[in-house]
Amino acid sequence: EAALQEEQFIGTIDQGTTSSRFIIFDAFGTPVASHQIEFENIYPESGWHEHDPAELLSSVEQCIEHATRQFLEKGYNKVQIKAIGITTQRETTVCWDINTGEPLYNAVVWPDTRTTAIVRELKQMPGADELRDLCGLPLSTYPSSVKFYWLYRNVEAIKNAYDESRIAFGTIDTWLIYKLNGGIAANVHVTDTTNASRTMFMNLHTCQYDDKLLAFFGIDKNKLKLPKIVPSSHMEAFGALAYGLLKGHKITGCLGDQSAALVGQCGFRPGHAKNTYGTGCFMLYNVGNKPVISQYGLLATVAYDFGAKGKPTYALEGSVAVAGSGVKFLMNNMGFIKHSSKITELAETVPDNGGVVFVTAFSGLFAPYWIDDAKGTLFGITAHTQRGHIARATLEATCYQTKAILDAMEKDSGHKLEGLAVDGGMSNSDLCMQTQADIISIPVNRPVMRESTALGAAIAAGFAVGIWKEFDELMEMNKEDRTIFEPKIDKAKSARMFKKWTQAVDMCKGWVL
Ligand code: ADP
């Protein structure tokens, strides 16, 4: 009993695109209690994608209560939870009234493409060509700045609040931290460097807001309250939970979800990379302490910023908008399967894709293509085509985009990756991971403990309170117990498959609804 009470733990809030989780980790990175809740994804019109900010918050609150109760039932004590980390979906934009603390509109979610026309317009404006060098991101429908631009122009409540200087801007980390601290009473309005690097308001080199960027989007800082940018690991900045079972527990770590996954996979050295197959799929490649602005369609982003532990570390990122959401599409919209995990079984009813290629461009195509007006397109349908072929083609679409991203990363970095560490919901599919290895012709390795994203935020939080002191202490974490998928098909065949994909990408653009 006494020994049980001596162990130290960290709780992590993991707020993703499809679900929220709270996971309590021990000092070895092993989860001891967890709870997960799916919430509603709202698609009011074609290309629109929203979340209810109140539902995001309540799902997180419930996860904290349930997981903490589980933890207590195991005989542990609340004081053993030394810190709380938070990791969230990125770019998703929420605005609230600073007088009431209530949202002025639903959160506009990262794959939303209602901004396609605005992007076309913004690309013509003076200064558009300089943006990427300042912030690392190409002008597209993806970053928060463009989402806010739309909100200001189209939502009266937002325009009024802005004109009256009573509007706060946030990504989901900022919103949740604000609310969990008690809202207007505590008024904690912060974000970490990794989340801020996705807004397009932050200068990637200084890690502070950039007047040129703000001016480009017509933002007046006196009218729109922007969150203070702080390091991802910090003792004071993120405040503490104001209510609930863990009331008074400090939040000491905050990372965007993809950054958190890189940290959770211990990608601390330049050259380390990970690929997370969640709703979308995101590869991050650690490039060290200087940002690398991509010449081949990748994003430059902050990987993590542990404050006292040194300068910010940067990454090259390849973002794919549709991965697991393609599986959800086959389930919810097409009725092919009853549960996401059944996709593999369905795909295995046929030996190959039968000539079908599915460009799952539901949000246009992101990296490395950046084609805003691409639409989801199925090629190669014949009377022979079965659901299984389409299931395979859906899984393969993410694998091909990963291949295109890997090629771009090799060109930008001048290095060839020797292996790919993976995680995320869709990495549960052995078939998908084997296909991935086949298409990129390098081994894919998958940990048994796949909650890398949550673990990354726990690491950020744990560093702040001294549970861990050096990166080296973590290098062995989650290294054993990995499944390796070796490439099995010959390179000529994978090159042929990839060529078909490239041809399909060329043919899926310019279809204006
Ligand atoms: P997020 O953090 O973006 O919400 P997760 O990492 O939780 O994402 O993964 C959820 C996604 O993974 C869903 O889109 C779901 O369709 C997909 N998924 C979950 N399990 C499987 C599986 N066994 N095979 C294929 N896809 C899966």
**What does the pLDDT look like over 307-321, one tens digit per residue?**
766 789 999 999 999
**Which tokens go with 410?**
């090799």
**What does the pLDDT look like over 97-153, one tens digit per residue?**
999 999 999 999 999 999 999 999 999 999 999 999 999 999 999 999 999 999 999
Atom of ligand 1 at shortest distance to CA of 424? 6
- Which protein residue's CA is at the shortest distance from atom 14 of ligand 1? 324
Percent of the chain with pLDDT over 90: 89
In three-state secondary structure terms, 273 is strand
How distant is the alpha carbon of residue 127 from its chain centre?
Answer: 28
- pLDDT at position 309 is 63
12, 13, 17, 18: residue to mutate for ligand 1 pocket, most atoms within 8 A of CB: 18
User: Closest by alpha carbon to 47, among 331, 306, 373?
Assistant: 373
Query: Is 80 exceeded by the pLDDT of residue 3?
Result: no
327, 334, 339, 394: residue to mutate for ligand 1 pocket, most atoms within 8 A of CB: 327
Give, for 12, the enclosing helix (H) or strand (E): strand 9-15
**What does the pLDDT look like over 142-153, one tens digit per residue?**
999 999 999 999
User: Rounded mean pLDDT of 377-382?
Assistant: 96
Q: How close is the Cα of 71 to the center of ligand 1, in Å?
A: 25
What is the tally of helices (H) and strands (E) in the chain? Answer: 16, 23
- DSSP structural state of residue 297: S
Decide: 242 and 187 in contact? Cβ < 8 Å: no
- Which protein residue's CA is at the shortest distance from atom 8 of ligand 1? 278
Q: How close is the Cα of 276 to the center of ligand 1, in Å?
A: 10
Q: How close is the Cα of 505 to the center of ligand 1, in Å?
A: 24
Contacts of 498 (CB under 8 A, 6+ apart): 400, 403, 439
Q: How close is the Cα of 340 to the center of ligand 1, in Å?
A: 7
**What does the pLDDT look like over 417-471, one tens digit per residue?**
888 999 999 999 999 999 999 999 999 999 988 899 999 999 999 999 999 888 8
Positions of E strands within 418-469: 420-423, 444-447
Q: How close is the Cα of 183 to the center of ligand 1, in Å?
A: 31
Q: How close is the Cα of 154 to the center of ligand 1, in Å?
A: 33
Contacts of 10 (CB under 8 A, 6+ apart): 24, 25, 81, 82, 83, 84, 85, 458, 461, 462, 467
Query: Is 60 exceeded by the pLDDT of residue 2?
Result: no
User: Closest by alpha carbon to 252, among 62, 459, 27?
Assistant: 459
Q: How close is the Cα of 323 to the center of ligand 1, in Å?
A: 8
- Ligand 1 surroundings by CB, under 6 angstroms: 16-19, 278-279, 324-325, 327-328, 340-341, 343-344, 424-426, 428-429
Atom of ligand 1 at shortest distance to CA of 428? 23
**What does the pLDDT look like over 460-506, one tens digit per residue?**
999 999 998 888 888 777 667 789 999 999 999 999 999 999 999 99
Atom of ligand 1 at shortest distance to CA of 341? 23
Could you write out the DSSP letters of every residue in 150-217? HHHHH-HHHHHHHHTT-EEEE-HHHHHHHHHTTGGGT---EEEHHHHTTTS-EETTTTEE-HHHHHHT
Q: How close is the Cα of 250 to the center of ligand 1, in Å?
A: 30
**What does the pLDDT look like over 355-371, one tens digit per residue?**
999 999 999 999 999 99
- Which protein residue's CA is at the shortest distance from atom 16 of ligand 1? 324
Q: How close is the Cα of 274 to the center of ligand 1, in Å?
A: 16
Q: What number is the ipTM of this complex?
A: 0.99
Q: How close is the Cα of 277 to the center of ligand 1, in Å?
A: 7
- Which protein residue's CA is at the shortest distance from atom 20 of ligand 1? 425
**Which tokens go with 384?**
């022979």
